[in-house]
Structure 1
Amino acid sequence: MNEVYSINGPVVTVRGATSLKMLEMVYVGRRRLIGEVIGITREKTTIQVYESTTGLTPGEPVESTGAPLCATLGPGILSNIYDGIERPLMELMRTSGAMIDVGSSLSALDEQKMWQVSVKVREGDRLTPGQVYATLPETPLIEHRCLVPPGLSGTVTFAAQDGLCRVSDVVVRLKEESGRERELSLCQKWPIRTPRPAAERLPISVPLITGQRVIDTLFPIAKGGTAAIPGGFGTGKTMTQHQLAKWCDADIIVYVGCGERGNEMTQVLEEFRELIDPKSGQPLTARTVLIANTSNMPVAAREASIYTGITLAEYYRDMGYHVAIMADSTSRWAEALREISGRLEEMPAEEGFPAYLPSRISQFYERAGLVRTLGGQEASVSIIGAVSPQGADFSEPVTQNTKRFVRCFWALDKSLAYNRHYPAINWNESYSEYVEDLSQWYAQHAGRQFMARRQELMGLLHEENKLMEIVRLIGSDVLPDDQKLIIEIAKLIRTGFLQQNAYHKEDTYVPLSKQLRMMEVILHLYHGALDAISGRGAEPHAVALSEVLESGIFSRLSKMKYEVPNDHPEQFDSYDQDIDQVLSAL
């Protein structure tokens, strides 16, 4: 019998040779704490425990399960709130109160709930991996599709009738070619550290539309893409992820609160329960699953929460849905790795993080992608990970290694946040490598001029950045009017285009058609004013920039984002006419 030999926080060792296997899930102690084997030698077996080891003593038994740590996948996941090892927190609260009892063991899914199931196969049908054998309405928004697990195929020998079923009821029996019979219920298990397979990984070509101008226009992310949101304390990482979760055009949202403060996570949970999905009018929770693993929960479970979240996302991807996973924050996950690595007495690398930190980060982000599923559908998992560098230092290891493996980098700026400029994404430090991949889609669906207008806008912002270095050194008086105009136009771009009000009904979400027209109006003012001050306008004499500024046209354009409804972009024509009238009058 295996017995506990030593205990070091969440790290427990068993002395001597054992029959335990690497990454096997085990039950530790008389209270049956959930653990996972992370190291085996002839002398000892090392286990990380996902619950508090307070009160555990040497000599207590360690029980083998013979299987890896798995997520239970089936109907009932959506609208639920789990901890890092997929225990339902609402059910735990009902059974054990506000504090989670050590050794609490509850099924991830409600095993007594009856689901109205439609069986899609009949006796004699041949089933292959990824094929749908039953469907049911999981929420008012999402149809749950029960899939043949990867690696399993055979002939149907039994198919249940349509009707009410529990998650554990047998719906289909399959006879494999070997003659072995397998039973399929409404749920299945999958190892959280193993990516779910897909038939084919597809080239990225479609953007994940968020309705946030600075993202959709300047730094777009693709469906199946990866993005990082690094920022110091108070710069709006969580708020930005809330906006993306509410408005992005993903079918399903997986929100992982990894190591965040308990009061902040409580606020997230309360807000998500109150939010209404703007597309359907249903509660947002009808297409959302929350994984809450706060900073006061066991550190090993924090490390597992990321893998639990991505496994749930891949499961719904395999049904044919586009899924977005918000990880807040991967820095806390990396800190959990560092703590466990320290207890294992591994050789530390930069800033005490383990040497395998880059490979762990890459393994997580590589599970994103646009794929053709085993069932033949096109679906995706997009990963948006928040990074919390200490002191907003982007040169620290987690930010730098994340930057290596993501293609979209939204750098949050403390000074912008303190000036109430949200989203506080710094346009000089941020980038997106998806622009070229998505340009054809933008040309077809957002207008041929969209990417050209974007490029011109970015050019003006970069030019302003260079000019401000001169202004800071010797002042703005030395600049000619055409360069002063660039500074004024860039200010208009910042306040009138990039800054967005999440609490204004016309500005919280902006369609691409309105984004394009806003860019065109701003650039129309720039070109018209440039012609006027350089003497190339309708009048033969040049106009001073101060006269253009005094006309009030700049301040009027800064308010157009509120004044023009999202569904009436044709109203921007009046702004073009006003610009022409003002400049011709000058």
Structure 2
Amino acid sequence: MDNQDTIYGINGPVVTVRESRSFSMMEMVYVGNERLVGEVIGVSDHLTTIQVYEETTGLRPGEPIYGTGSPMNVTLGPGILDNIFDGIERPLKEIAKESGSFIARGSNIAALDESREWDVTVTVKEGDLLKGGEVYAELPETPIIRHKCMVPPGLSGTVASVKPNGKYHVNDTVVELKDEFGKMHELSLCQKWSIRTPRPVLGHLPPNIPLITGQRVIDTLFPVSKGGTAAIPGGFGTGKTMTQHQLAKWCDADIIIYVGCGERGNEMSQVLEEFSDLTDPKSGRPMTDRTVLIANTSNMPVAAREASIYTGITLGEYYRDMGYHVALMADSTSRWAEALREISGRLEEMPAEEGFPAYLPSRLAEFYERAGMVKNLNESEGSVTIIGAVSPQGSDFSEPVTQNTKRFTRCFWALDKALAYARHYPAINWMQSYSEYFSDLDPWYTEHVGNDFIQYRKRINNLLQQENKLMEIVKLIGSDVLPDDQKLIIEIARVIRVGFLQQNAFHAEDTYVPLEKQKLMMKVILYLYQKAKHLISASIPISGILQTGLFDKLVKMKYDIPNNKPEMFEDYIKEIDSTLSKIVSA
């Protein structure tokens, strides 16, 4: 190591080195006597710039810098699930045992537990030809997820030797591969991968399978596909984190990766407590058996916040390559963008809109475009769905992070402060939100739920649009002047809003609702609307129809009808018929 490779200047997380020829762009380095983790982000003739992923307090000019010769990477292997990492994949549970509640600087604890033994089944034999992405060993990582060890992309060859099935550590060699040049490669249970490099695939598949969440406003009105992208923008207190918690708990992805990027520590501790207590509805096992948490709270170093979403998406792509469907929750990309802005300011780069760097759109695009339903190198199919929360100040959706996120996501679930304050959760505003996946997903809905589901959705959406226009008139001149058919639209829209779109996360029957029940709820609401509309056209006043209590009964049916008793909806239709027929005969 050249003696000249020492710290020249320190500006927060940005460190500079003068007159060095030792480092390459994006190389991972160790900074100072405490060997803090850093990454080279700028190389010029006279100056090398490094961003440090740890607290730089106490660092001094003249301390050494050590190169690694490899890019910023993470370790991929068994032991990722049921674990909590920081933004650069350091295991927080192990660090807590060593240094207490606060992360010690220069901590070099391995990302994966190197002392743990795994029950490995080798799936290849000597003489087999293997190429990048193909599986050579399997093991039960948790009781519900089978981990598949894959040949690193870009490597291929003939199996030269195979270890017998049995107990192995993550760094133990289980297969030796001889490439075309005769060089031997040892394959263990883990591999390294650069966090800023997308893992290669054979091809992308159309996003034509929905991510079923059990949340009516999402599944029915604004669905997202597996391998799709969605944004949840909302001001403080509108329920971004709670909405993502619900999606993480109930969506039908195989694996959940939750990235707490710059959020408050108490929110992250709430996530940890909830997930550890929660039982996975699919398997009956603890939710943590298929969950990875990346905790990078607001008091952690700002540069690690910038890296955390890349760490998260790299872990997601690794499990996607095994053939799993992964859902990544990024909470929140605004805090990540603020980290970009702070580092950009330290680098004295020219600021763009609201002080964010000019490359903010391209960085957002790099992140969201790593989502997708794909055909993997080993011929399996998997997906990574990205759901990113955005925290615009003052609920101003015109600010740069929200606007640029809209450019790269096809689903927009706009959270409304007024709905949140009215205790309407999820507070997704049905007038501002949209989904561009309808044309991709409608064939799936037609095949699995029935074409009437799509027809009901269109009619429900149309009624909400009509109510929105009518409420503008009501605000000006009051509701008394409206004819009865328009009053009916307002009343049925109230049933849709309160009885269908509003959902109680703490109610056993309402926290998750299967698609079949969602369809039948829409059917009953629209049936009442058609019957009442017919009566009003026969000059029966709406006041008499409202007095029957049918509208209020339909608001409560989400609680009164269990998810496993869809036949009860027919009783509601019969009650509507009998009750309204009494009005006609009266």
Shared fold (TM-score, shorter chain, > 0.5): yes
Write the mapping of 1:114-125 to structure 2, written as runs, cut at 5 A: 114-125=117-128
Q: Deviations over 1:30-79 (max 9, x none)?
A: 00000000001101000000001001000000101000010100000000
**Are positions 1:209 and 2:212 aligned together?**
yes
For the residues of structure 1 that align with 2:49 and 2:193, how far apart are their CA atoms? 23
For the residues of structure 1 that align with 2:499 and 2:200, how far apart are their CA atoms? 45
Write the mapping of 1:15-94 to structure 2, written as runs, cut at 5 A: 15-94=18-97
Deviation at 1:160, TM superposition (A): 0.6
Q: Find the counterpart in structure 1 of residue 172 from structure 2.
A: 169
Q: Find the counterpart in structure 2 of residue 539 from structure 1.
A: none
Q: Find the counterpart in structure 2 of residue 278 from structure 1.
A: 281
Write the mapping of 1:171-570 to structure 2, written as runs, cut at 5 A: 171-535=174-538, 542-570=539-567
Q: 3-state SS of the aligned residue for 2:364?
A: helix
Q: Is the 8 A contact 1:482 1:533 kept in 2?
A: yes
- Runs of at least 4 residues of structure 1 off by over 3 A? none
Deviation at 1:279, TM superposition (A): 1.2
Q: 3-state SS of the aligned residue for 1:22?
A: coil
For the residues of structure 2 that align with 1:418 and 1:278, how far apart are their CA atoms? 30
Q: Is the 8 A contact 1:25 1:65 kept in 2?
A: yes
For the residues of structure 1 that align with 2:522 and 2:223, how far apart are their CA atoms? 16
Q: Find the counterpart in structure 2 of residue 138 from structure 1.
A: 141
Q: How many residues align?
A: 580
**Are positions 1:6 and 2:9 aligned together?**
yes
For the residues of structure 2 that align with 1:131 and 1:347, how far apart are their CA atoms? 45
Q: Deviations over 1:253-291 (max 9, x none)?
A: 000000001111111111111111011110000000000
For the residues of structure 2 that align with 1:73 and 1:98, how far apart are their CA atoms? 26
| TM-score of the aligned structures, taking structure 2 as reference length | 0.99
Q: Find the counterpart in structure 2 of residue 571 from structure 1.
A: 568
For the residues of structure 2 that align with 1:31 and 1:503, how far apart are their CA atoms? 47
Q: Find the counterpart in structure 1 of residue 100 from structure 2.
A: 97
Deviation at 1:17, TM superposition (A): 3.4
Q: Is the 8 A contact 1:85 1:308 kept in 2?
A: yes
Q: 3-state SS of the aligned residue for 1:449?
A: helix
Q: Is the 8 A contact 1:4 1:60 kept in 2?
A: yes
For the residues of structure 1 that align with 2:10 and 2:556, how far apart are their CA atoms? 62
For the residues of structure 2 that align with 1:560 and 1:335, how far apart are their CA atoms? 44
For the residues of structure 2 that align with 1:242 and 1:413, how far apart are their CA atoms? 18
For the residues of structure 2 that align with 1:132 and 1:378, how far apart are their CA atoms? 14
1:161 counterpart letter in structure 2? P
For the residues of structure 2 that align with 1:557 and 1:484, how far apart are their CA atoms? 17
For the residues of structure 2 that align with 1:570 and 1:479, how far apart are their CA atoms? 37
2:519 counterpart letter in structure 1? L
For the residues of structure 1 that align with 2:269 and 2:520, how far apart are their CA atoms? 39
Q: 3-state SS of the aligned residue for 1:211?
A: coil
For the residues of structure 1 that align with 2:344 and 2:230, how far apart are their CA atoms? 27
Q: Deviations over 1:130-154 (max 9, x none)?
A: 1110000000110000001100110
RMSD between aligned residues: 0.6
Q: Is the 8 A contact 1:259 1:333 kept in 2?
A: yes
1:235 counterpart letter in structure 2? T
Query: Where do 5+ consecutive residues of structure 2 fail to align?
Result: none
2:308 counterpart letter in structure 1? S
Q: 3-state SS of the aligned residue for 1:4?
A: coil
Q: Is the 8 A contact 1:17 1:41 kept in 2?
A: no
Q: Is the 8 A contact 1:26 1:65 kept in 2?
A: yes
1:363 counterpart letter in structure 2? E
| TM-score of the aligned structures, taking structure 1 as reference length | 0.99
For the residues of structure 2 that align with 1:17 and 1:208, how far apart are their CA atoms? 50
Q: Deviations over 1:103-142 (max 9, x none)?
A: 1111100001000000000111111111110000000110
Query: Where do 5+ consecutive residues of structure 1 fail to align?
Result: 536-541
For the residues of structure 2 that align with 1:102 and 1:150, how far apart are their CA atoms? 33
Q: 3-state SS of the aligned residue for 1:155?
A: strand
Q: Deviations over 1:438-468 (max 9, x none)?
A: 0000000011211111000000000000000
Q: Is the 8 A contact 1:256 1:292 kept in 2?
A: yes
For the residues of structure 2 that align with 1:234 and 1:501, how far apart are their CA atoms? 17
Q: Deviations over 1:280-316 (max 9, x none)?
A: 1100000000000000000000000000000000000
Deviation at 1:4, TM superposition (A): 0.2
Q: Is the 8 A contact 1:5 1:15 kept in 2?
A: yes
For the residues of structure 1 that align with 2:228 and 2:126, how far apart are their CA atoms? 40
Q: Is the 8 A contact 1:439 1:451 kept in 2?
A: yes
Q: Deviations over 1:314-362 (max 9, x none)?
A: 0000000000000000000000000000000000000000000000001
1:493 counterpart letter in structure 2? I
Q: Find the counterpart in structure 1 of residue 159 from structure 2.
A: 156
For the residues of structure 2 that align with 1:446 and 1:520, how far apart are their CA atoms? 13
For the residues of structure 1 that align with 2:484 and 2:562, how far apart are their CA atoms? 34
For the residues of structure 2 that align with 1:206 and 1:408, how far apart are their CA atoms? 14
Q: 3-state SS of the aligned residue for 1:20?
A: coil
